Amino acid sequence: ALKDVAPGIFTCKSGRWCVARAESGEWIIVLEDGRLAGKACDIADIVIASRRTSFAQCRSGALLLNRDILRRIGSVEIDFARSDQPGVVGRLRASTAGANRPWSEHRYYDWKTGRFDRELPETITRLLAASQ
């Protein structure tokens, strides 16, 4: 089924996932069901999950942007063109990167622990730092 996906077009299964292949060949999977994140990490170069996942990084090396990460960094721009390797993100720019504003402080609050948590996975921190 994945081999039939045309570049630049998302193919979706309602309420579960969408998959697309970038013009440059990278696979992107957007998940509605966080339980599918492990399998998506094995398939895609980028996994975006609107739900909580039980892990913050893909074992496969795929870039994972889950609900908790996106809450902290906001919307993102992903650029493959600045990479010298296929399937590798060359630049990741976040809407909140480098801007600690009082009205954005709530993004870091962890409701489960009752404290503020600014920690991000190393992969995300490195990509954001390299993109500024």
Q: Tens digits of per-residue pLDDT, 50-107?
A: 888 889 899 998 999 998 888 888 888 887 765 555 555 667 778 776 667 777 777 7
Q: Which two tokens stand for residue 29?
A: 């999977």
- Under 8 Å between Cβ of 90 and 83: yes
Long-range Cβ pairs for the range 27-30 (8 Å, 24+)? 27/2, 27/87
pTM, full prediction? 0.79
Alpha helix stretches (DSSP H) within 5-131 = 37-43, 67-73, 122-130
pLDDT at 82: 56
pLDDT at 121: 84
Range of the domain at 105: 2-130
pLDDT at 87: 53
CA atoms of 75 and 95, how far apart (whole Å) = 5
Q: For the chain, what is the domain count?
A: 1
Q: Which residues lie across from 123 on neighbouring strands?
A: none
